[in-house]
Amino acid sequence: MTRRYEGKVAFITGAARGQGRAEAVRFAQEGANIIAIDACAEFASTAYAGATEADLAETVRLVEETGAKIAASKVDVRDFDALSAALAAGIEQFGRLDVVVANAGICSAALSWEITAEQWQETVDVNLTGVFHTAKAAVPHLIAQGEGGAMVFTSSVGGLKGIPFTGHYVATKHAITGLAKTMANELGAHRIRVNTVHPAGVASGMQPNDIGPLLEEYASTLAPIFMNSLPDYIIEPEEIAATVAWLCSDDAAKVTGAQIPIDMGNLNR
Ligand SMILES: NC(=O)c1ccc[n+]([C@@H]2O[C@H](COP(=O)([O-])OP(=O)(O)OC[C@H]3O[C@@H](n4cnc5c(N)ncnc54)[C@H](O)[C@@H]3O)[C@@H](O)[C@H]2O)c1
């Protein structure tokens, strides 16, 4: 494997499992030291189990196995002060910051007009405000360092089209796409690139089981929205990580403000 991140440092949110873990391991394999946070918590609105401290410890083990170093802590992206402190401590430990992956997110399902106030608020707080917090904490460090940098926000195919039964989720994923495009404009002069990735179904802990009955009920009209061009229905987290590692590297030095689908062709339908 090429080592495009030798001597560099990557900050990844939601790194206890799934895509965040795969990204931590991938950047580490390519030479980076890792600053990782995860809430390691259950969420009131989700119908799947939350990540645990044991999951985050496993990420630490996997990163260290590559020979890289990792500063991992149990921090919720909704807590700006704790996130900022964890990031600052990691930068203090490793000496710099090059890459930011705002990956932490949650998902639940309901018809848009039946989403509860609590479900709406939790999703917005984690998926939108959490990404804003991540960028707000990281950007001053990147600007002060004066060597550019790369930020990726993990959106979704639902950041570019209307995925039924996830209106609150889709609203946040569109919102962070707009935030990334705006920040790409503002930060271009500093050679800080900001892009979004748009995965379709990923084999991770995020299994919104509450969507099943709705899918069955509306299958005759809405099933094509979930179909892909490729004869695949699921993406491995490592495949997402490979694209994110490309997007943050000098191989993508002229890519900013872009929306990169990793979706088996779902957005092509
Ligand atoms: N799984 C999919 O099919 C899919 C598709 C498109 C986009 N996404 C997006 O990809 C990202 C990663 O999800 P995943 O598929 O790896 O799911 P996952 O549930 O396995 O991992 C998400 C991680 O984020 C953490 N997290 C959640 N809320 C947090 C918070 N408030 N503070 C800190 N950490 C928090 C979780 O604890 C978990 O470890 C999410 O933003 C998700 O919306 C997922």
- Residue-by-residue DSSP string for 166-217: BHHHHHHHHHHHHHHHHHHHHHGGGTEEEEEEEE-SBSSS---GGGHHHHHH
Query: What is the tens place of the pLDDT at every residue in 193-224?
Result: 999 999 999 999 999 889 999 999 999 999 99
One-letter amino acid of 124: V
CA-nearest residue for atom 43, ligand 1, is 105
Compute the distance from residue 107 Cα to the ligand 1 centre, in Å.
8
Compute the distance from residue 105 Cα to the ligand 1 centre, in Å.
4
169 is catalytic: yes
CB contact at 8 A, 196 and 177: yes
Pocket of ligand 1 (CB under 6 A): 13-14, 16-20, 37-40, 50-51, 76-78, 103-107, 126, 130, 154, 156, 199, 201-202, 204-206
Give me the mean pLDDT over the 131-143 stretch: 99
CA-nearest residue for atom 41, ligand 1, is 105
What is the fold, at CATH topology level, of the domain defined by 8-262?
A: Rossmann fold (3.40.50)
Mean pLDDT (the chain, rounded): 98
Give me the mean pLDDT over the 219-240 stretch: 96
Distance CA 168, CA 238 (A): 27
Query: What is the tens place of the pLDDT at every residue in 168-181?
Result: 999 999 999 999 99
| pLDDT score of 208 | 87
Compute the distance from residue 199 Cα to the ligand 1 centre, in Å.
11
The residue from 48, 169, 218, 233 that is catalytic is 169
CA-nearest residue for atom 40, ligand 1, is 105
One-letter amino acid of 247: L
pLDDT at 269 over 90: no
Query: What is the tens place of the pLDDT at every residue in 74-92?
Result: 999 999 999 999 999 999 9
| pLDDT score of 1 | 85
| Residue to mutate (ligand 1; options 37, 131, 155, 206; most atoms within 8 A of CB) | 206
CB contact at 8 A, 247 and 260: yes
| Residue to mutate (ligand 1; options 11, 19, 26, 244; most atoms within 8 A of CB) | 19
pLDDT at 237 over 90: yes
| pLDDT score of 149 | 98
DSSP string, 68-84: --EEEEE--TT-HHHHH
The set of residues, in sequence order, having a beta carbon less than 8 Å from that of 21 and lying 6+ positions away, is 15, 55, 58, 59, 62, 237
Give me the mean pLDDT over the 185-190 stretch: 98
pTM of the model: 0.98
Compute the distance from residue 189 Cα to the ligand 1 centre, in Å.
31
One-letter amino acid of 53: E
Compute the distance from residue 261 Cα to the ligand 1 centre, in Å.
17
Q: Which atom of ligand 1 is the closest one to the Cα of 19?
A: 16
**Residue 46, by phi and psi: left (phi above 0), alpha (psi -120 to 50) or beta?**
beta
Give me the mean pLDDT over the 135-153 stretch: 98
Give me the mean pLDDT over the 131-142 stretch: 99
Distance CA 36, CA 86 (A): 9
Write down the domain spans for the chain. 8-262
| pLDDT score of 209 | 87
